């Protein structure tokens, strides 16, 4: 669901700085230089500046995401830690720094676990409400597994088997209507073996003749279950609008049969 920078990466970066300071000969303290205009003349200067800029961008994004979780880490303290490490004036020993970062990791993990449970519980409730509403619509059918579907357009082609490769256009949404994926937006249909997708798709598409358009409401146990991702919360009921364009294996068989017949 939604990517959070791992604190362990930050820990590794700080640890590397501390280690470098221990291993390298003592150097003069870094002096703070404020200039209105900085000219980068050599490739080495540009590379050094790029390293600092890249680190700053990472730290900035990391702190913003920590703040979003309710952890307010002062950027001035971060910059002071970097400056002190380069100046051999670290206010924490390596062991103390590691302990502080480990504690931060644990706090982040605790917050993420709590949020995941809350989001999952909300997804379960929203999914039930969606299914209860959808089942009342005209033409909705429910299979023994719990898969719900409604025929929007019934095609006249063949139906795929679980081992077939299909070509489809589709749009996927969460119970609140949020779209998490769409081949239409990419203007490129998706091609995949039918036995390598979520169970709801494997079962549902076998009900569709080529040329059909179905709406599927797939409970979590036939979708991604308790897997949590940035786009799809754990235990989410998913809605898919699916259009079956082609059955690859069937098409190949037809081509072979036609070629054999004309000989």
Sequential DSSP letters for 129-188: HHHHHHTTSTT-EE-TTS-EEEEEE---SPPPPTTSEEEEEEEEE-TTS-EEEEHHHHT-
Q: How many other C-beta atoms are found inside a 10 Å radius of the C-beta of residue 247?
A: 24
> Is residue 64, in this structure, part of any structural domain at all?
yes
Query: Is 192 assigned a catalytic role?
Result: no
Do 87 and 143 have their domain in common?
no
| Residue labelled with tokens 């990791």 | 105
Do the domain assignments include residue 227?
A: yes
Catalytic residue list contains 180:
yes
* Among 233, 206, 202, 204, residue whose Cα is nearest residue 220: 233
- Would residue 117 count as lying in a domain? no
Residue with tokens 């949404």: 173
- pLDDT at position 66, please? 86
Between residues 253 and 212, which one has the greater pLDDT? 212
pLDDT in tens, 92-127: 999 999 999 999 999 999 988 888 888 889 999 999
Residue 229's pLDDT band (cuts 50, 70, 90): confident
Active-site residue (options: 58, 184, 198, 241): 198
- Domain containing residue 15: 7-91
DSSP code of 195?
G
The last residue of one of the domains, among 28, 63, 91, is 91
Question: Active-site residue 58, yes or no?
Answer: no
Q: Which residues contact 236 (CB under 8 A, 6 or more apart)?
A: 123, 126, 127, 174, 175, 220, 223, 224
Does the residue 104 lie in any domain?
no
Residue 227, domain CATH: 3.10.50.40
**Is 13 inside a domain boundary?**
yes
174 and 75 fall within a common domain: no
150: pLDDT confidence band, cut at 50, 70 and 90? very high
Q: What percentage of residues in the chain have a pLDDT greater than 70?
A: 80
Q: How confident is the model at residue 228 (pLDDT cuts 50, 70, 90)?
A: confident
Q: 44 and 142: one domain? A: no
Q: Which of 73, 91, 109 is the last residue of a domain?
A: 91
Q: Which of 6-10, 58-62, 169-173 has the lowest mean pLDDT?
A: 6-10
Q: Which of 111, 181, 184, 241 is catalytic?
A: 181
Q: Which residues have CB under 8 Å from 68's CB, separation 6+?
A: none
Q: Looking at 5, 58, 86, 180, which residue is catalytic?
A: 180
Q: Is 51 a catalytic residue?
A: no
Task: Name the pLDDT band for 241 (thresholds 50, 70, 90).
Answer: very high
Is 224 catalytic? The answer is: yes
Based on the domain organization, do 78 and 144 belong to the same domain?
Answer: no
Both 79 and 141 in one domain: the answer is no
When pLDDT is averaged across residues 170-183 and rounded to a whole number, the result is: 97
Closest CA to 68 of 4, 155, 151: 4
Look at residues 172, 159, 176 and name the one whose alpha carbon lies nearest to residue 198.
172
Average of per-residue pLDDT across 158-168: 96
| Chain mean pLDDT for the chain | 85
Specify whether 154 is located in the same domain as 247. yes
Of the residues 218, 224, 228, 247, only one is catalytic, namely 224
Q: Does the residue 115 lie in any domain?
A: no
Q: Is residue 126 part of a domain?
A: no
Is residue 203's pLDDT more than 60?
yes
Burial 62-96 (b: 16+ CB within 10 A, else e): bbebbeeeeeeeeeeebeebbebbeeeebebeeee
Same domain? 140 vs 227? yes
| 234, two tokens | 């754990």
Task: Identify whether residues 139 and 239 lie together within a single domain.
Answer: yes
Whether residue 119 is contained in a domain is answered as no
- Report how far apart the first and last C-alpha atoms of the chain are (Å, whole number): 54
What pLDDT score does 30 carry? Answer: 45
Residues 147 and 250 in one domain: yes
198 is catalytic: yes
Task: Output the domain CATH number for residue 16.
Answer: 1.10.287
Catalytic residue among 134, 149, 214, 240: 240
Catalytic residue, from 134, 149, 170, 214: name it: 170
Average the pLDDT over 45-73 and give the result: 89
Does 147 share its domain with 226? yes
Check whether 20 has a pLDDT greater than 70: no
**Looking at residue 173, what is its pLDDT?**
98
Give residues with Cβ within 8 angstroms of 141, minimum separation 6: 148, 149, 150
Number of domains in the chain: 2
Closest residue by Cα to residue 212 from 257, 258, 150, 162: 150
Q: In terms of domains, do 15 and 77 share one?
A: yes
Q: Categorize the per-residue pLDDT at 221 as very low, low, confident or very high, splitting at 50, 70 and 90.
A: very high
């Amino acid at each position: 669901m939604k990517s959070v920078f791992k604190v362990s990466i930050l820990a590794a970066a700080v640890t590397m700085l501390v280690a470098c300071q221990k291993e390298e000969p003592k150097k003069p303290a870094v002096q703070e230089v404020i200039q209105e205009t900085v000219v980068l003349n050599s490739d080495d200067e540009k590379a050094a500046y790029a390293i600092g800029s890249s680190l700053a961008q990472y730290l900035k994004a990391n702190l913003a995401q920590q703040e979003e979780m309710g952890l307010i880490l002062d950027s001035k303290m971060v910059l002071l830690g970097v400056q002190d490490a380069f100046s051999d004036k670290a206010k924490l020993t390596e062991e103390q720094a590691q302990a502080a970062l480990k504690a931060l990791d644990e706090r982040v993990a605790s917050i993420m676990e709590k949020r995941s449970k809350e989001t999952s519980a909300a997804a379960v409730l929203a999914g039930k409400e969606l299914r209860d509403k959808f089942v009342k619509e005209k033409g909705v059918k429910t299979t023994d597994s719990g898969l719900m579907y409604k025929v929007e357009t019934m095609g006249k082609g063949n139906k795929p088997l679980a081992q077939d490769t299909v070509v489809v256009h589709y749009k996927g949404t969460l119970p609140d209507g949020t779209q998490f994926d769409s081949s239409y937006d990419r203007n490129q249909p998706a091609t995949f073996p039918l036995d390598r997708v979520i169970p709801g798709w494997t079962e549902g598409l076998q009900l569709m003749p080529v040329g059909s358009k179905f709406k599927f409401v797939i409970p979590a146990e036939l979708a991604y279950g308790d897997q949590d991702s940035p786009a799809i919360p754990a235990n989410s009921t998913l809605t898919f609008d699916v259009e079956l364009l082609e059955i690859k294996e069937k098409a190949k068989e037809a081509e072979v049969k036609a070629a054999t017949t004309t000989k």
